């Protein structure tokens, strides 16, 4: 990596003028070991031509070098980042960045791809004076990113707004002086885009960044993301769209769909060593040989001096693999489910020697007190038992405050082992020396290559170790499928196939309702034209989909359920060649409008409306029970209740 010249400049009263700037301190930092090579005292002068020479590769005649100079100090202060990697410099110098064109780039997890997107968003906020949307996959990731960017918002002067869970305002507050960065989950971003369109404020949006773009090929959430991007792409001028991911397939389809440039890099700051364990044998994954017999090489035999009882409790020798790392280094154990996270955490501490209780005893006691405080005096028995040993679990069952305390404790070395679900592998910045996959399953589904790359990507802490290690614990019955997942990359890298037509075309119906409600489209031709801009349209032949048939079916459903009203179009009525649905202008009914505004599932809209009408006729107000019943979500019977946690709370 090239060195980065970091300078703190004192501006003169002329504002943007660089003349007579005073350099308080300039440190030339070697990127490989962060050591100070040379230091210059206060009052050294750096004139405009010298600064331009330093920023030559960063367009000296633009405002971009100024942005980098401002941000460099903050990155050092808040993230201990003193230099950019060479690939980051190349990516930031692409024509797509300079001309505000759409861009997709891929890089292994932990390679630093998020920093590039953050700088592009800061450039949009501070120099283009337009708002930005940052789309992240999970609520926990949104909350972590808000905490990470808040110091930058405070010092650089822009608003940071969280759109996740119950947070988010529609439409957002319109700011006069400062621009806003909206950090959103996929669903919240979709609602935010709808509100901006409805209030004619899309011109305020300059850039939209999608992290984990490969999720466009994952079920109903991927369909929602595709709908969102289709709506954004239908506007002129459209905001710049940036997509990033560690693994992408069907890249040509995505590039065409978003009309984007592509940048790919294989850089990883820490070397990754990959292993598979079966019984007590460890195999090293060899990706340099296509011969099936040499893809898994026997590496060593595990011998942890287990007693018979230990082997009975831990036949996979998971605790032994953890014990090789902690307490001197950190370890993440990915588990298939939330309940398994808690069980594994208890299993690990049951093997731990009492002497581990002396490590960070005081800090761990403070952590326990803080967790009790944020829970109003309550804390689950598992965390009470495991935290004194430096072990905790991490999953969506934690509150936001609990999650933040546990994440910070792990980063500070107070906790050395986290048992977690796959959510932690996406976006939350918690790297570890060793990553262990408790099982090649996520829930009841076998691990995909993309999920494996996300989890294994957490192995290795930049600046603290030269290598990171990933262990997959498997059984003989899983080996055939595991080999296919690990080595048949072309088949298992995330497919990024459109999911608009899954679940009885639910996402297409939702998209049509949205664009009709927002008055983006009102005729059959305009709706068909919109569908032809989707990723589904590009893959229609391969997925065996006929767009016109889909449109006919979905429009008929919306009309039949009285969510959309079809009004005769006089211009088309005399043309006998037009089909029945082509002769109408479409607009939402009051029920359709309420469905959009309330983010109600299409299949529930009529049931909910009829239910409320019945309640208007006969409501028992003697006590709150009937009101409570009416306000219960329709999907409540499908919610899994954690009865053990519920009983714990009641007993406490």
Tens of pLDDT, residues 113-163: 899 999 999 999 999 999 999 999 988 889 889 989 999 999 999 999 999
SS3 476: helix
258 contacts 233 by C-beta, under 8 angstroms? yes
Tokens matching residue 83? 């230099």
Residue-wise pLDDT for 542-568, tens only, equals 999 999 999 999 999 999 999 999 988
What pLDDT score was predicted for residue 474? 93
CB-based contacts of 412, cutoff 8 Å, min separation 6: 363
Strand 281-285 relative to strand 271-278, pairing:
antiparallel
CA atoms lying within 13 Å on the CB side of residue 469: 19
For residue 477, the number of C-alpha atoms closer than 13 Å in the C-beta half-sphere is 3
Answer whether residue 12 shows pLDDT above 50.
Answer: no
Question: For residue 207, what is the enclosing H or E element?
Answer: strand 205-211
Domains 84-264 and 502-590 alike in fold:
no
Distance CA 29, CA 380 (A): 46
* Rounded-to-integer distance, Cα 552 and Cα 107, Å: 41
Of 392, 394, 406, 399, residue with least CA distance to 376: 399
Q: In the chain, what percentage of residues exceed pLDDT 90?
A: 45
**pLDDT in the model for residue 389:** 94
Phi-psi region of 253 (alpha: psi -120 to 50; beta: other; left: phi over 0): alpha
Instruction: Say if residue 641 is exposed, middle or buried (CB neighbours under 10 Å; 0-12, 13-18, 19+).
Output: exposed
Identify whether the C-beta of residue 390 lies closer than 8 Å to the C-beta of residue 417.
Answer: yes
The chain-wide mean pLDDT, for the chain, equals: 82
What CATH number should be reported for the domain whose range is 502-590? 1.10.10
C-beta separation of 156 from 74 below 8 A: yes
Contact 336, 318 (CB under 8 A): no
User: CA–CA separation, 258 vs 246, rounded Å?
Assistant: 18
Place of tokens 């792409």: 233
The average pLDDT across 519-533 equals 94
Class of domain 84-264: alpha beta
Per-residue pLDDT at 449 exceeds 50: yes
* Residue-level length of the chain: 652
Mean pLDDT within 576-584: 68
The residues that bridge with 264 in the sheet, in sequence order, are 106
Asked if the bond preceding 171 is cis, omega within 30° of 0, the reply is yes
Give Cβ neighbours of residue 186 (< 8 Å, ≥ 6 apart): 135, 137, 215, 221, 224, 225, 228
Q: Given this model, what pLDDT does residue 401 score?
A: 86
| Average pLDDT over every residue of 461-479 | 84
Tokens 């954690």 correspond to: 642
Q: Where are the domains of the chain?
A: 1-62, 84-264, 273-492, 502-590, 606-651
**Is 267 within 8 Å of 85 (Cβ atoms)?**
yes
Q: What number does CATH give the domain 273-492? A: 3.40.50.300
Q: Which two tokens stand for residue 537?
A: 């349209």
Span 81-85, average pLDDT: 84
Q: Where are the alpha helices (DSSP H) in 518-621?
A: 524-531, 535-538, 547-560, 590-597, 602-617
Sign of the torsion formed by the C-alpha atoms of 545, 551, 556 and 559: positive
152, two tokens: 């930058």
Report yes or no: 479 and 278 within 8 Å, Cβ to Cβ.
yes
Bridge partners of 121, per DSSP, are none
pLDDT for the residue 130: 95
pLDDT at position 506 over 80: yes
Label residue 580 by pLDDT band (50, 70, 90): confident
Q: How far is Cα 513 from Cα 137, in angstroms, rounded to an integer?
A: 24
**Other C-beta atoms within 10 Å of 531: how many?**
23
Dig out the tokens for 369 from the structure.
């007190």
The pLDDT tens digits for 381-409 are 999 999 999 999 998 888 888 888 999 99
| DSSP H helix total and E strand total for the chain | 26, 23
* 0.75 exceeded by pTM: yes
**pLDDT tens-digit map of 195-241:** 999 999 999 999 999 998 988 988 889 999 999 999 999 887 889 99
* Res 638: pLDDT: 62
């Amino acid at each position: 990596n090239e060195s980065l010249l970091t300078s703190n400049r004192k501006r003169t009263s002329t504002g943007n003028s660089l003349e007579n700037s005073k350099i308080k301190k300039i440190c030339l930092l070697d990127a490989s070991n962060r050591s100070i090579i040379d230091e210059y005292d206060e009052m050294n002068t750096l004139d405009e031509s010298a600064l331009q020479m330093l920023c030559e590769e960063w367009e000296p005649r633009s405002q971009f070098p100024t942005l980098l100079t401002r941000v460099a100090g903050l990155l050092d202060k808040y993230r201990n980042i003193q230099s950019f990697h060479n690939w980051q410099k190349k990516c930031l110098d692409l024509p797509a960045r300079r001309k505000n064109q759409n861009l997709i780039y891929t890089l292994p997890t932990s390679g630093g791809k998020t920093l590039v997107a953050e700088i592009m968003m800061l450039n949009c906020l501070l120099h283009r004076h337009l708002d930005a949307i940052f789309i992240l996959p999970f609520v926990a990731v949104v909350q972590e990113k808000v905490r990470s960017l808040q110091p930058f918002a405070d010092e650089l002067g822009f608003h940071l707004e969280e759109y996740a869970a119950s947070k988010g305002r529609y439409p957002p507050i319109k700011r006069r002086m400062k621009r806003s960065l909206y950090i959103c989950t996929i669903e919240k971003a979709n609602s935010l885009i709808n509100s901006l369109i409805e209030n004619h404020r899309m011109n305020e949006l300059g850039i939209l960044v999608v992290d984990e773009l490969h999720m466009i090929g994952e079920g109903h959430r991927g369909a929602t993301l595709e709908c969102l991007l289709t709506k954004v792409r239908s506007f002129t001028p459209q905001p710049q769209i940036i997509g990033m991911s560690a693994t992408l397939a069907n890249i040509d389809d995505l590039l065409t769909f978003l009309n984007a440039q592509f940048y790919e890099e294989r850089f990883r700051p820490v070397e990754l060593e990959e292993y598979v364990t079966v019984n007590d044998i460890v195999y090293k994954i060899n990706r340099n040989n296509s011969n099936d017999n040499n893809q898994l090489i026997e590496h060593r035999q595990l011998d942890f001096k287990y007693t018979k009882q230990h082997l009975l409790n831990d036949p996979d020798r998971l605790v032994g693999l953890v014990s090789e790392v902690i307490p001197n280094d950190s370890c993440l154990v990915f588990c298939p489910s939330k309940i398994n996270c808690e069980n594994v955490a208890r299993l690990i501490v049951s093997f731990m020697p009492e002497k581990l209780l002396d490590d960070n005893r005081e800090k761990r006691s403070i952590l326990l007190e803080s967790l009790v405080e944020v829970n109003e005096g309550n804390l689950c028995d598992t965390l009470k038992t495991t935290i004194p040993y430096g072990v905790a679990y991490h999953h969506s069952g934690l509150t936001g405050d609990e999650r933040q305390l546990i994440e910070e404790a792990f980063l500070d070395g107070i906790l050395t082992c986290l048992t977690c679900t796959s959510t932690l592998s996406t976006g939350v910045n918690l790297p570890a020396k060793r990553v262990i996959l408790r099982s090649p399953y996520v829930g009841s589904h076998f691990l995909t290559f993309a999920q494996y790359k996300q989890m294994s990507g957490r192995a290795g802490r930049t600046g603290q170790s030269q290598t990171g290690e990933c262990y997959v614990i498997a059984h003989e019955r899983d080996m055939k499928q595991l080999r296919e997942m690990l080595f048949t990359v072309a088949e298992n890298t995330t497919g990024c196939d459109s999911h608009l037509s899954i679940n009885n075309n639910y996402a297409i119906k939702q998209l049509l309702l949205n664009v009709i409600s927002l008055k983006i489209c009102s005729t059959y031709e305009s709706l068909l034209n919109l569908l032809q801009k989707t990723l589904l349209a590009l893959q229609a032949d391969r997925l065996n989909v006929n767009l016109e048939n889909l449109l006919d079916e979905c429009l008929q459903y919306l009309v039949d359920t009285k969510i959309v009203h079809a009004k005769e179009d006089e211009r088309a009525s005399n043309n006998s060649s037009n089909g029945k649905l082509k002769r109408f202008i479409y607009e939402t009914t009051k029920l359709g409008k309420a469905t959009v505004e309330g983010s109600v599932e299409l299949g529930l809209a009529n049931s909910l409306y009829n239910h409320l009408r019945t309640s208007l006729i006969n409501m028992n107000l003697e006590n709150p029970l009937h009101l409570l019943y009416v306000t219960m979500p329709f999907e409540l019977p499908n919610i899994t209740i954690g009865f053990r946690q519920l009983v714990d709370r009641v007993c406490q």
